[in-house]
């Protein structure tokens, strides 16, 4: 054949392929997610997320050490309180002796500024009903989460996390105006340098299923009155723009794998770094298929992460972070 273009020329050798690779994922771009549970003496495996644990305060520290040694620069902490500490408004969330704030403080004491210590800033783990905020009867068919009352509580939580030593807070509740309010609360409390990673475009996704096991959630129902409809695209652009206008230092799209179009569009206009969250269901599906030997675990996990990066994510929150960082170094 007489072809002008033979794209395969650039695929002939490993060196040629490395030379012409368009993107390269770095360990520094991966954020390791951790769960810490109150009242347990040994780390508990999470059955729907093989290889992931509910940590104790004591087991968390060596796990974070391993992440740091693998080249991870940021961790994201979720707290799982005692059932007895859950209440209607989630007050254990801003208690300085609450499990999440103690975890933040323990990590900051151990690691200082060696890694970025980020915490989830949302009430769902701490409320008895499992919703991301306080419920109100507004005359609709179902109780809905009261936006403004919830934002006030997020502000208390963010300030308590900053006080505990968090470098970054990460509001994941999808309340309107949460970023502006949190920024003002942090500044008033003297935490001008604590940054905000906004869960800007977060969908009401069934891919969060295994996470609910991980945090022993008391939740039943859905979050459709505050998280986005998976059918929507334009709405994400509005949400991201609002968070940028309100002062978000970083914005996020969540989940990642089934929302790569959104990641790409956000990456195209965002003036701040863009994160994407490869969520529990994405992890669980890879693990389940790999456990059956239906797919190559390492290859698929890396391909999924590279795809999210290629779509435009500067950072990826993932349960694979530590392991993937090691793989990337080996490759």
Is 226 flagged in the annotation as binding?
Answer: no
Number of neighbouring beta carbons within 10 Å of residue 311 = 22
Site string for ligand PBG, 218-247 (x = CB under 6 A): -----x------------------------
Does position 263 bind ligand PBG by CB under 6 A? no
Does position 38 bind ligand PBG by CB under 6 A? no
User: Strand, helix or coil at 317?
Assistant: strand
Instruction: Give the pairing type, strands 144-145 and 135-136.
Output: antiparallel
Q: What's the N-to-C CA distance of the chain in angstroms?
A: 36
Q: Enumerate the active-site residues.
A: 202, 254
User: Strand, helix or coil at 307?
Assistant: helix
Taking CB under 6 A as the criterion, the residue among 38, 95, 120, 323 binding ligand PBG is: 120
Output the smallest distance, CB 85 to ligand PBG, in A.
17
Considering beta carbons, is residue 73 or 223 the nearer one to ligand PBG?
223
Number of neighbouring beta carbons within 10 Å of residue 176 = 15
- Helices vs. strands in the chain: H and E counts, helices first: 11, 12
Number of neighbouring beta carbons within 10 Å of residue 94 = 24
Give the binding range for ligand PBG (CB under 6 A) out of 97-105, 118-126, 176-184, 323-331. Answer: 118-126
Is 239 flagged in the annotation as binding?
Answer: yes
Compute the Cα dihedral for 215, 95, 275, 329 and give only its sign: negative
Taking CB under 6 A as the criterion, the residue among 203, 211, 259, 320 binding ligand PBG is: 211
Q: Name the one residue in this structure whose structure tokens are 């620069």.
A: 73
Is 212 flagged in the annotation as binding?
Answer: yes
Does position 122 bind ligand PBG by CB under 6 A? yes
Does position 280 bind ligand PBG by CB under 6 A? yes
Does position 208 bind ligand PBG by CB under 6 A? yes
Considering beta carbons, is residue 56 or 172 the nearer one to ligand PBG?
172
- Distance in angstroms (rounded) separating the CA atoms of residues 211 and 49: 8
Q: Which of 272, 202, 199, 200 is nearest to 242 (CA)?
A: 200
- Distance in angstroms (rounded) separating the CA atoms of residues 36 and 215: 9
Does position 154 bind ligand PBG by CB under 6 A? no
Kind and range of the H or E element at 121? Answer: strand 116-121
Output the smallest distance, CB 227 to ligand PBG, in A.
6
Is 160 flagged in the annotation as binding?
Answer: no
Is 223 flagged in the annotation as binding?
Answer: yes
Give the binding range for ligand PBG (CB under 6 A) out of 39-47, 79-87, 119-127, 235-243. Answer: 119-127
Output the smallest distance, CB 210 to ligand PBG, in A.
7
- Distance in angstroms (rounded) separating the CA atoms of residues 284 and 289: 9
Taking CB under 6 A as the criterion, the residue among 25, 89, 279, 304 binding ligand PBG is: 279
Q: Quick one: 88 exposed, middle or buried, by C-beta within 10 A (0-12, 13-18, 19+)?
A: exposed
Give the binding range for ligand PBG (CB under 6 A) out of 65-73, 94-102, 116-124, 264-272. Answer: 116-124
User: Strand, helix or coil at 176?
Assistant: coil
Taking CB under 6 A as the criterion, the residue among 172, 195, 270, 322 binding ligand PBG is: 172
CA atoms within 13 A on the CB side of 265: 16
Output the smallest distance, CB 212 to ligand PBG, in A.
7
> Which residues define the annotated binding site for Mg(2+)?
239
Binding site for ligand PBG (CB under 6 A): 120, 122, 124, 132, 172, 208, 211, 223, 279-280
> Which residues define the annotated binding site?
212, 223, 239, 280, 319
């Amino acid at each position: 054949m007489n072809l002008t273009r033979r794209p395969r020329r650039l695929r002939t050798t490993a060196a040629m392929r490395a030379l012409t690779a368009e993107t390269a994922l770095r360990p520094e771009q991966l954020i390791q997610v951790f769960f810490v549970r109150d009242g347990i003496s040994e780390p508990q495996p999470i059955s729907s997320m093989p290889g992931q644990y509910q940590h104790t305060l004591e087991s968390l520290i060596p796990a974070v050490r391993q992440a740091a040694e693998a080249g991870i620069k940021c961790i994201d902490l979720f707290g799982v309180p005692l059932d007895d500490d859950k209440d209607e408004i989630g007050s254990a969330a801003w208690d300085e002796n609450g499990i999440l704030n103690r975890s933040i403080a323990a990590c900051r004491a151990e690691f200082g500024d060696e890694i970025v210590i980020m915490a989830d800033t949302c009430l769902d783990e701490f409320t008895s009903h499992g919703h991301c905020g306080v419920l109100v009867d507004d005359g609709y068919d179902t109780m809905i989460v009261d936006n403004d009352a919830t934002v006030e509580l997020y502000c208390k939580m963010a300030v308590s996390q900053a006080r505990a030593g968090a470098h970054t807070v990460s509001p994941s509740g999808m309340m309107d105006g949460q970023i502006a309010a949190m920024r003002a609360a942090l500044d008033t409390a003297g935490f001008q340098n604590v940054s905000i990673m906004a869960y800007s475009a977060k969908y009401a996704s069934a891919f969060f299923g295994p996470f609910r096991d991980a945090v022993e959630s008391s939740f039943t129902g859905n979050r459709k009155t505050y998280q986005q409809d998976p059918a929507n695209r334009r709405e994400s652009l509005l949400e991201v723009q609002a968070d940028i206008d309100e002062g978000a230092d970083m914005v996020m799209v969540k989940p990642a794998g089934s929302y790569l179009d959104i990641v790409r569009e956000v990456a195209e206009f965002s003036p701040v770094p863009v994160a994407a969250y490869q969520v529990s269901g994405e992890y669980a599906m890879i693990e389940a298929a790999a456990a059956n030997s239906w797919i190559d675990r390492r290859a698929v996990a890396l391909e999924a992460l590279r795809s999210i990066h290629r779509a435009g994510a500067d950072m990826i929150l993932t349960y694979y972070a530590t392991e993937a960082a090691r793989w990337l170094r080996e490759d």
